[in-house]
């Protein structure tokens, strides 16, 4: 009789232990994903190749061409300072218009690109999509240029893209504020 009691106690203890360890595993998994989701966006800058060789400047000069490319795709600026961005469309094809749209950190460029293609223009985007846009130049035709000023309040990686429908796939880059 005693043996049976010992066995059932041992069994209960085993069940409790295995159940407990199961909970611990679940908790640690949640902790890891939570930490990844709340990772500060400025740590993303560490993963950008070539950043150390980019000069720090609060003045950005960009051009875009008929091949749907920007001349430069990585810039380094001071967080909290006024940034001046000048963009020139150096193409010659009348149908090839471009802009530069600067986005909040963490914006999904693919999603916004698709929404812009459907909406035809950033003016027609939803309020949610518009809230992801910090600043943008006007849509420029061949030979035209536009200049804008804006501030990137916090250190982090701010993506920029051309919002002409379909262009974002080859026309996007990063502004790293530090």
Which residues are near Cu ion by CB under 5 A?
Answer: 98, 162, 164, 167, 171
Residue with tokens 């001349």: 71
When the beta carbons of 115 and 167 are compared against Cu ion, the nearer one is 167
C-alpha pair distances (Å), 74 with each of 5, 53, 171: 71, 10, 12
Contact 176, 75 (CB under 8 A): yes
Least distance in Å: CB of 141 to Cu ion? 11
Closest to Cu ion by CB, 125 or 177: 125
For the chain, the farthest-separated pair of C-alpha atoms sits apart, in whole angstroms, at 96
Rounded to a whole number of angstroms, the minimum distance from the CB of residue 36 to Cu ion is: 33
On whether the CB atoms of residues 64 and 146 are closer than 8 A, the answer is: no
CB of 168 to Cu ion, least distance (A): 8
CB of 152 to Cu ion, least distance (A): 22
Among 176, 167, 178, 177, CA closest to 73: 176
Closer of 76 and 167 to Cu ion (Cβ) = 167
Cβ-based nearer residue to Cu ion, 160 or 164: 164
Smallest distance from Cu ion to CB 45, Å = 25
> Rounded to whole angstroms, how far apart are CA atoms 156 and 102?
13
Eight-state DSSP code of residue 55: P
Nearer to Cu ion, 64 or 105 (CB): 64
């Amino acid at each position: 009789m005693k043996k049976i009691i010992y066995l059932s106690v041992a069994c209960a203890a085993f069940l409790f232990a295995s159940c407990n360890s199961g909970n611990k595993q679940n908790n640690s998994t949640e902790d890891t994903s939570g930490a990844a989701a709340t990772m500060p966006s400025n740590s993303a800058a560490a993963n950008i190749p070539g950043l150390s060789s980019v000069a720090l400047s609060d003045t950005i000069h960009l051009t875009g061409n008929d091949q749907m490319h920007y001349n430069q795709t990585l810039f380094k600026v001071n967080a909290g300072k006024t940034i001046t961005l000048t963009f020139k469309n150096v193409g010659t094809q009348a149908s090839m218009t471009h802009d530069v749209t600067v986005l909040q950190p963490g914006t999904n460029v693919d999603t916004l690109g698709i929404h812009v293609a459907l909406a035809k223009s950033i003016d027609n985007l939803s309020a949610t999509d518009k809230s992801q846009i910090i600043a943008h130049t006007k849509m420029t035709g061949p030979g035209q240029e536009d200049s804008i000023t804006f501030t990137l309040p916090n250190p982090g990686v701010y993506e920029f893209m051309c919002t002409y429908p379909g262009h974002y796939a080859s026309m996007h880059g990063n502004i790293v504020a530090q």
